[in-house]
Structure 1
Amino acid sequence: MKNFQRILLSLIVFLMFLTACNSRNNEENKSSKEINMTIHQSSKQGVTADESNNRDSQDPTSNYGGADAMEDIKIKLTIKDEEVIVNMYNNPTSKDFLSLLPLTLTFEDYAGTEKISYPSNKLSTEEAPSGSDPTIGDFTYYAPWGNLAIFYNDFGYSNGLIKIGKIEYGIENIGNISGDFTVKIEKMD
């Protein structure tokens, strides 16, 4: 009976050890994935992982007027027969974009997170923050590449990303589109 108890106790200790090791491996794998994602995001912007991790943690859009919608300035994105309405923010990049309207652009998917397009002109980055952390529905301008980006999934902080608006409704019409698609962009009255 004592042998049975010793074997059972040994088995319990062994299982606890395996559980602890597995938990540690999962944490290391998660940490490794987070580091790789940070490096991937940072390399997209041309900075090192250390520079990305040392960025200012406060929301840079608050210093740029990104949190404030321009009074009654909205744009309409027409995709096939569906409409997406965007409240525009009050900042120089947003105002520069509005000066280009109306536009018809072709968007494509990028990384299963955003739809991107390249307007013919680069937009102003005057007074822009060093970057931002986009959320679902953000209408943005990625200054290093000169592209617009509409986020239909969360992404993470990106250097050079400037929020220029927020989708009021219709985000579900963006994320479900596969392949390239044409968007007519115009100011609303």
Structure 2
Amino acid sequence: MKIRLVVENAVVEATLDDNATSRDFAAMLPLDVTLSDYHQTEKIADLPSTLSTDGAPDGIDPAIGDITYYAPWGNLAIFYRDFGYARGLVRLGRIDSGIETLIQQGELRVRIERVQDDPD
């Protein structure tokens, strides 16, 4: 499923994986969040409710551009710098384009929404 993150006048395109956690996240959309910087590595935001982790691995080693769910805290985490393996981290999807938009200091107000399929 394609999604977009609207940050002020910029759009970040992304694709969600097909797993239980991503489907729960997609069901929340559209969603307005405030992304804050965490350790100059990722942008994080609280979610309105917890997501299912059924069938998820114990953790992952996220890559730059990965959209993830950190189950122990119940928050969204989008990585813009390299990071090592983290237990409790579940990949939701990946940024396709526009990651540079998220590499800003301070908080970012973001609207996350589904991209409508082409009627072709």
TM-score exceeds 0.5:
yes
| Counterpart code for 1:145 | W
The 3-state SS of whatever aligns with 2:110 is strand
After TM superposition, the score normalised by the length of structure 1 is 0.61
Ranked by relative contact order (alpha carbons within 8 Å, sequence separation 6 or more), the top structure is 2
Q: How does 1:138-153 map to 2 (within 5 A)?
A: 138-153=66-81
Considering only CA atoms, is the larger Rg found in Structure 1 or Structure 2? Answer: 1
Corresponding residue number in structure 2 for 1:66: none
| Counterpart code for 1:184 | R
| Counterpart code for 2:114 | K
Large movers: runs of 4+ above 6 Å? none
C-alpha separation in 2, matches of 1:79 and 1:101? 15
Corresponding pairs, count:
116
| Counterpart code for 2:74 | G
Q: How does 1:1-189 map to 2 (within 5 A)?
A: 73-175=1-103, 177-189=104-116
% identity of equivalent residues? 50
Shift of 1:111: 0.4
The CA RMSD over aligned residues, in Å, is 0.5
Gaps in structure 1 of 5+ consecutive residues: 1-72
C-alpha separation in 2, matches of 1:180 and 1:166? 21
Shift of 1:106: 0.5
After TM superposition, the score normalised by the length of structure 2 is 0.95
Gaps in structure 2 of 5+ consecutive residues: none
The 3-state SS of whatever aligns with 2:4 is strand
| Counterpart code for 2:37 | D
The 3-state SS of whatever aligns with 2:44 is strand
